[in-house]
Amino acid sequence: MEAPEGPGPHRRTQRALKLLAALGLLSLGLCAGRWFLLTITDSRAENDSYDSYDYDLFTIGGGSAGVRLARFSAKYGARVGLAELPFAVVSDKHSAGGLGGTCVIRGCVPKKLLVYGSQLHDELRDARGYGWDFHGRPRINWRRLIATKNKEVARLSGKYRELLNDAKVDVFEGYAQVLSPHMVSVNGKRVTAKYICVATGSRASVPKIPGSTLPGVLTSDDALNLSHLPRRIVIVGGGYIAMEFASFFYGYGSEVHLVLRADKPLRGFDADVRAHLHSALQQRGIHLHANETPASIERRKLGWGELIFRTDQGTVLEVDNVMFATGRRPNTEELGLEAVGVEVDALSGKILVDKFSRTTVPSIFAIGDVTSRRSLTPVALMEATALSETLFGGRSRAPTYDNVPSAVFSQPPVATCGLSEAEAVDKHGEVQVFMSRFKPLKHTMPTGRAGQEMVLIKVLVANRGRSAGTVVGVHMVGEDAPEIVQALAIALSAGASKEQFDQTVALHPTVTEEFCTLREATRIAKRRQKPKF
């Protein structure tokens, strides 16, 4: 695809020519009367003057993707407007959002704060194993925790407003819709722009089963803002959010039941990682109900506010809350996209884009969770940076998705970069698998980490063709895995070989040194021959 046109060195000449053309059109329009004039205004052509629009760029959504795009485009000299809903901790499709978006207000940041807090309980137990004495049971003041966390996300959201103000981005507060390829409305006010970018993110999706709208049934938004710590909770789902929320609720002292429809959590992750996490969570004390699907929820008629949760397989659980972590739907409904010709995937509702994030309407772009790429904050930021450069930086750049690291902040946490064993075998035909399961030095003392103390590390090396010897995947389950794998992602991005891993001098005693000391392959994994008939 041709990179979208942006203001370049010939902008002044182009402007003069375009101004002349616009004047010609205008006088023609005056002669032809009001109807013709209106037609011209509504169908402004792609190559119209920048100055004939209110903005060079208008971004719908002020989350990770929208704020980054707006700020970076403004730095290139573009005139930028951005629409975002008013701030609230729990979002509402039409009336509540907040600058910073999901990651800052009801995703990565508050989740990680609650993860940190729940880990302290384990650390207090570890302390006893190291000789510390203290009396009484530690108790969590949940209300204080949530109030402090809410104060922090409100502060952060305010910082995002400051960043946009400093960049001279005009912020419109309200629900935006697309009216035409160059026009949006925010709360009824019409604004025109050379380019429009949809960065409206996604929201939790809950399966429609009997009882799924009862009070006490939660999404991740609600779970981050509960007034009481649930005594017993069912979490439905086997993905990132289910693992993370199950882990921190358990850490704070809830009885946790995880209901997942697969046999292991984290579909799409490396099989050894999935198996290791499954047994670690079980050993820790989380009740895993694998191969089960939610059937219904009802409120107990007698008794104190309990919910009765049933699965299709016959499990019945009495709990205070049921949380659905069953995936997310993009915020694309009611935006007016189809009416202007923006194609949306019929099944998932995600906006279809090309490699430059351009939709089926040339002046409209989409980035972040609203598209069908990976739903991670650093990916949304990468897409925004690339688009600002393409539109206004004079260089077309497509985001690249190789070696995107990701982590699940469960307890123990999981982190991964590159290919799983199945993907590596599929791509490279044959891989060397280096794997180690071990108890780190810290837990050779009698700490209280049932199920969390064993670490899994796995390194996959291509064994055939031009990539032979290159590390194509690293995986880890264990304390600090996300911090460790972030650093290893640099090596993978640089195309490091196993030999370079081996030649790196270890840092002792650490857990990470194991990545440099794996000498013997655990096995060679090969693509299965297709059966001959």
Ligand X SMILES: Cc1cc2nc3c(=O)[nH]c(=O)nc-3n(C[C@H](O)[C@H](O)[C@H](O)COP(=O)(O)OP(=O)(O)OC[C@H]3O[C@@H](n4cnc5c(N)ncnc54)[C@H](O)[C@@H]3O)c2cc1C
Ligand Y SMILES: NC(=O)c1ccc[n+]([C@@H]2O[C@H](COP(=O)([O-])OP(=O)(O)OC[C@H]3O[C@@H](n4cnc5c(N)ncnc54)[C@H](O)[C@@H]3O)[C@@H](O)[C@H]2O)c1
Supply the residues annotated as catalytic.
508
Q: Answer with the entry of ligand X, ligand Y, none that 496 interacts with (C-beta below 5 to 8 A by kind).
A: none
What track of x and - describes contact with ligand X for positions 184 through 203 (by CB under 6 A)?
---------------xxx--
The reply to whether 218 sits near ligand Y by the rule CB under 6 A is: no
Q: Answer with the entry of ligand Y, ligand X, none that 64 interacts with (C-beta below 5 to 8 A by kind).
A: ligand X
Question: Partners of 204 in the beta sheet?
Answer: 328
Q: Which stretch binds ligand X (CB under 6 A): 155-163, 293-301, 371-379, 520-528?
A: 371-379
Q: Answer with the entry of ligand Y, ligand X, none that 223 interacts with (C-beta below 5 to 8 A by kind).
A: none
Task: Say how far residue 364 (Cα) sits from the centre of its chain.
Answer: 22
The reply to whether 342 sits near ligand X by the rule CB under 6 A is: no
Of 6, 7, 81, 107, which one interacts with ligand X (CB under 6 A)?
107
CA distance 445 to 130: 7
The reply to whether 241 sits near ligand Y by the rule CB under 6 A is: yes
Of 207, 285, 305, 495, which one interacts with ligand Y (CB under 6 A)?
207
Of 79, 106, 121, 328, which one interacts with ligand Y (CB under 6 A)?
328
Of 192, 200, 311, 375, which one interacts with ligand Y (CB under 6 A)?
375
Residue with tokens 């993907």: 423
CA distance 227 to 122: 23
- Selection from 425, 507, 504 nearest residue 463 by Cα: 425
345 is in an annotated binding site: no
Q: Answer with the entry of ligand X, ligand Y, none that 388 interacts with (C-beta below 5 to 8 A by kind).
A: none
Token pair in block for residue 181: 């390829």
CA distance 464 to 193: 51
Q: Which stretch binds ligand Y (CB under 6 A): 46-54, 152-160, 247-255, 321-329?
A: 321-329
List alpha helices for 130-267, DSSP H: 142-166, 220-223, 240-252
Q: State whether the Cα torsion 260-288-443-440 is positive or negative.
A: negative
Burial of 131 (0-12, 13-18, 19+ CB in 10 A): exposed
Q: Answer with the entry of ligand Y, ligand X, none that 169 interacts with (C-beta below 5 to 8 A by kind).
A: none
Q: Which residue is nearest to ligand Y (CB)?
A: 239
The reply to whether 239 sits near ligand Y by the rule CB under 6 A is: yes
User: What does DSSP assign to residue 24?
Assistant: H
The count of chain residues that interact with ligand X, using the rule CB under 6 A, is 35
Burial of 496 (0-12, 13-18, 19+ CB in 10 A): middle
The residue type at 103 = C
Closer CB to ligand X, 102 or 192, in the complex: 102
Secondary structure, 3-state, 380-440: HHHHHHHHHHHHHCCCCCCCCCCCCCEEECCCCCEEEEECCHHHHHHHHCEEEEEEEEECC
The residue type at 194 = K
52 is in an annotated binding site: no
Coil, strand or helix at 194? strand
211 is in an annotated binding site: no
192 is in an annotated binding site: no
Binders of ligand Y in range 401-420 (CB under 6 A) = 406-409
- Binding positions for FAD are 112, 200-202, 369
* Site residues (vs ligand Y, CB under 6 A): 207, 236-242, 244, 260-261, 267, 293-294, 325-328, 375-376, 406-409
* Site residues (vs ligand X, CB under 6 A): 60-66, 83-85, 91, 97, 101-103, 107-108, 111, 175-176, 199-201, 220, 241, 331, 335, 368-370, 375-378, 380
- Binding positions for NAD(+) are 237-244, 327
